[in-house]
Structure 1
Amino acid sequence: MPQVDPRFTVLSEDFATDPYRHFARLRQQQPVHYESAIDSYFLSRYADVKRVLTDHEAFTTETLQVRAEPVMRGPVLAQMTGAEHTAKRKIVVRGFTGQALQDQIRAIHANAAELIAPFLPRGRIDLVNDFGRPLAVNVTLDVLGLDKEDRQQIAAWLSGVAEFITSMALTPERRRHCLDCAERLEAYLAPVIKQRRHQPGEDLISKLCTAEFDGIGMSDSDVTALIINVLVAAVEPADKTLALLFKHLIDHPQQLAQVRQDPSLLPAAIAETLRYTPPVQLIPRQTERDVVFAGGAVPAGATVFCLIGAANRDPDAFADPDAFDIHRPDLGTARSFTAAAQHLAFGTGLHQCVGAAFARAEIETVAAMLLPLLDQVRHTPGTHYRETGLYTRGPTSLCVDFTPARSPLQEKQPR
């Protein structure tokens, strides 16, 4: 086993408080960092992370059989390869592109308007708990065609599913809780799937229920796994990205003013947010054979975690990487939401996030609505900003004060 500095561990509270201040040392001194407590390797250099995510023969997604499949209630897209992956990925992608995406943008706008309206006269809002988190759930339920009246219950089950996937270690009690959440979510979805098979609509669940692979329709288990896959992928990063976008713009008032003056800069601000503070910090893979990196070797059958936050701050990939700069020339906004993205927030290669275009549409639509409404937006005095999460990471809250701007949304409020 590699020798590890006993004074450092990515599983420590110190690392969890602010992983970014450790990334440079990891890249320079321990780019292949071994954690004996979980028998896993952590890679921090951009070139190594990109190699792992694009070499699908040497680095597989087999680890997801343990990390995700038990709560997804079946194999997820990232576990599939070949014709099956291509066909099922296309089905899901079609649910987030073209006319479907245009319909979703309208739903995103309507959901955001409804959620923000009560807070406009107050001049204060928590962009995570009051707005971002419920918005992400509501929008995803709209896409799937699920009842938003069940939002709180679905969100609670989803929290257990996400905990199972993102935890480095679970106690037996927490593991049982997470599995129970997954089982209850599966039971909730069963009658919905049955109904959509007989009476399909325009929602994504209907499309999954009526789609065929090699002339054969997907089983209920297949559809359930893909629904939960979409729920986790769409809900988990969305609220984090929105809050992080506003935090960085508030912390960089000149760039905030530039985005307000020129809304065409908003996609660049979103792309830079994803590079600077990616909501998904870890992507796991498993080695098919012994692999050698510049910083060390990894044996066959080992679990490898790609540190996306560290890779996105690698000076070999980005100039002045620890600076938030919406004008950086090495990001490439136009390609930042495609398979050609320079940053790795959506992963890359065969299993790049299927919802990248939807994520851009959602955050861009909501931010474009909020910026004119939240005039002179600033951090609420006396509040303490804190981020949490090793696997996925974002603010626990983001309380802001603002000067309410006159708008049609306000006019609808009771006086």
Structure 2
Amino acid sequence: MPMAHPGFSVLSDAFEADPYRHFARLREQAPVHHEPAIDSYFLSRHQDVRRVLTDHRAFTTETLQARAEPVMRGPVLAQMTGAEHTAKRKIVVQGLTGEALREQMHTVRARAAELLAPLLAHGRMDLVADFGKPFAVQVTMDVLGLDVKDWRQVAAWHSGVAEFITGLTLTPERRRHCLECAEQLEAYLVPVIEERRREPGPDLISRLCAAEFDSTALSVRDVTALIINVLAAATEPADKTLALLFKHLIDHPEQLTQVRRDPALLPAAIAETLRLTPPVQLVPRRAEEAAVFAGTTVPAGATVFCMIGAANRDPAVFADPDTFALHRADLGTARSFTAAAQHLAFGTGLHSCVGAAFARAEIETVAAMLLPRLDQVRHRPGSRYRETGLYTRGPVSLPLDFTPVRTPLLADATLDG
């Protein structure tokens, strides 16, 4: 079975510490890498990853039945096909696009302003711990219609759910902890669902409660699973992508200057951030029949992990792929937040990320608020940058120093969606 070199493992601490330096060797020497410990295959070439993600008949999401359903408390969108997938995805998409999205961006600005106000006065913040993580969870709760005062507890439960889905080698103790988090989150959500059935509001949970499939209202279990689905899809990319966007711009000051001068370049900067450092690094599928990639046969029934980070740096698709390039001609900013994106950070095909439009609007809105107010923004002297995560990946922290520019946080005309 092809391997990058004897003893190489994507499950090793060395790989997790810096997977990016291994991607080229994987694509060139072991585009189909087998991990015996979990009997799974890892694909790293763009064409192979795209093939798997777009052929939903040959490569199904059956792996999610064991990986996600126990903590999602029911089937998630990625497990569904046919009429059920179309109907339920449409319900969620309508709650995260169009007029709903424009209204949500007002809430995003208000929430960001509330969190930023005390931080700006100090001229320093950790963009991950002080702002990004609380912001991502609180905004998602705002959209769903959950009480934001509970955000720390919801974040802790969500962390357990995410660990279960993304952990490739969970110990029995961690598995039990994750399942307990899911049970507690479900117990928290069920009374809210029942209350929204009686007294609906403008929030997404109310939309889900009022929706029907096959002329029947969604069950409490269905709604619970979709809520947790949205919680994961909307929260996971936000804090990681925002921090990575600022890291790349700070590390490339000439490009930061260009974005400051022309905010219309923000979508391109976000798209390039998603390409170069996608927050979701692995997407699992099951091979329903034997398939050949680069001369290697993946057997029927095997678990296949699509390596999004490696595919997004494939030189067969992107020129100078390990470089952050704001004006990249081979990316296509306009389609970078759709299922037709050249990069694969949101997946592609039938099960592309349902929250892509929301993520783009949210990150663009917040970045447009931050950039004019963080003059001379720079990495804090003495801080050491570190990322973690194999399945999802992002900065542990991002300590920044800056000169605050004092302008009203809610007075500017930022993105309306």
CA distance in 1, matches of 2:6, 2:180: 37
Amino acid at match of 1:378: R
Contact 1:193 1:220 (C-alpha < 8 Å) held by counterparts:
yes
Deviation at 1:410, TM superposition (A): 11
Classify 1:2/1:410 alpha carbon distance in 2 versus 1 (closer, same or farther; 3 Å): closer
Say which SS state the counterpart of residue 38 (structure 1) adopts: coil
Segments of structure 2 that go 5 or more residues without pairing to the other structure are 412-417
Q: Which amino acid is 2:347 matched to?
A: G
Letter in 1 for 2:10: V
Q: Distance in 2 between matches of 1:182 and 1:409?
A: 36
Q: State the partner residue of 2:210.
A: 210
Superimposed CA distance per residue, residues 259-306 of structure 1 (whole angstroms, 9 cap, x where no aligned partner):
000000000000000000000000000000000011411000000000
Counterpart of 1:104 in structure 2: which amino acid? Q
Question: Counterpart in 2 of 1:191?
Answer: 191
Shift of the alpha carbon at 1:139?
Answer: 0.4
Work out the CA distance in 2 between the residues paired with 1:337 and 1:178. Answer: 31
Aligned match of 1:121: 121
Is 1:321 aligned with 2:321? yes
Q: Secondary structure at the match of 1:408?
A: coil
Check whether the contact 1:120–1:410 (CA below 8 A) recurs between aligned residues. Answer: no
Listed as ranges, the matches of 1:34-113 within 5 Å are 34-113=34-113
One-letter amino acid matched to 2:237: P
Shift of 1:169: 1.0
Q: In the TM superposition, what is the alpha-carbon distance from 1:121 to its structure 2 partner?
A: 1.5
Partner Cα distance (1:282, 1:238) in 2: 17
* SS in structure 2 at match of 1:283: strand
Q: Structure 1 61/258 Cα, relative in aligned 2: closer, same or farther at 3 Å?
A: same
Shift of 1:7: 2.4
Q: Secondary structure at the match of 1:314?
A: coil
**Residue in 1 aligned with 2:414?**
none
Q: Distance in 1 between matches of 2:57 and 2:194?
A: 37
Deviation per CA, 1:72-103: give whole Å up to 9, x if none.
00000000000000000000000001111011
TM-score by length of 2: 0.97
> Residue deviations 1:224-279, cap 9 Å, x none?
00000100111111100000000000000000000000000000000000000000
Offset at 1:2?
A: 5.7
1:366 alignment counterpart: 366
Q: Is the 8 A contact 1:73 1:221 kept in 2?
A: yes
2:235 aligns to what SS in structure 1?
helix
Alignment correspondent of 2:387:
387
* 1:244-283 matched pairs, under 5 angstroms: 244-283=244-283
> Which string of whole-angstrom CA distances, capped at 9 and with x for unpartnered residues, describes residues 350-409 of structure 1?
000011100000000000000000001000000010000000000000000001112124
What CA distance in whole angstroms lies between the structure 1 residues aligned with 2:208 and 2:87?
11
After TM superposition, list the pairs within 5 Å mapping 1:111-260 onto structure 2. 111-260=111-260
Residue by residue over 1:48-80, the C-alpha shift from the partner in whole angstroms, topping out at 9 and shown as x without a partner, is 000000001110000000100000000000000
Whole-angstrom CA distance in 2 between matches of 1:248 and 1:87: 38
Paired residue type of 1:60: T
CA distance in 2, matches of 1:254, 1:58: 45
Are the counterparts in 2 of residues 117 and 410 from structure 1 also a CA contact under 8 Å? no
- Would you say 1:332 and 2:332 are equivalent positions? yes
Q: Distance in 1 between matches of 2:181 and 2:395?
A: 24
Give the AA of the match of 1:31. P
Structure 1 counterpart of 2:367, which letter? Answer: A
Secondary structure at 1:22's aligned position in 2? helix
Read off the aligned partner of 1:180 and give its amino acid letter.
E
Cα distance between partner residues in 1 of 2:84 and 2:242? 33
Relative to 1, partners in 2 of residues 1:2 and 1:110: Cα closer, same or farther, differing over 3 Å?
Answer: same
Could you tell me the TM-score, scaled by structure 1's length?
A: 0.98
Q: Is 1:296 matched with 2:296?
A: yes
Q: Which amino acid aligns with 2:172?
A: P
AA matched with 1:390? L
For residues 356 and 400 of structure 2, the distance between their equivalents in structure 1, rounded to whole angstroms, comes to: 27
SS at match of 1:266: helix
Give me the whole-angstrom Cα distance separating, in 2, the residues matched to 1:297 and 1:4. 17
Matched to 1:217, the amino acid is A
Aligned-pair identity in percent equals 76
Check the 8 A contact 1:250/1:378 in 2, yes or no: yes
Corresponding residue number in structure 1 for 2:341:
341
Structure 1 residues 36 and 4: CA distance shift in structure 2, 3 A:
farther
Q: Which runs of 5+ in 1 are unaligned?
A: none
SS of the residue corresponding to residue 122 of structure 1 reads coil
| In 1: Cα distance, 2:207 partner to 2:121 partner | 41
Question: In structure 2, what is the Cα distance between the partners aligned to 1:281 and 1:216?
Answer: 37
Answer yes or no: is the 8 Å Cα contact 1:132–1:240 preserved in 2. Answer: yes
The separation in 2 between residues aligned to 1:125 and 1:348, in whole angstroms, is: 35
- Report how many residues are paired: 411
Look up the SS of the partner of 2:161 in the other structure.
helix
Contact 1:285 1:304 in 2 (8 A): yes
Partners in 2 of 1:347 and 1:313 — Cα distance? 15
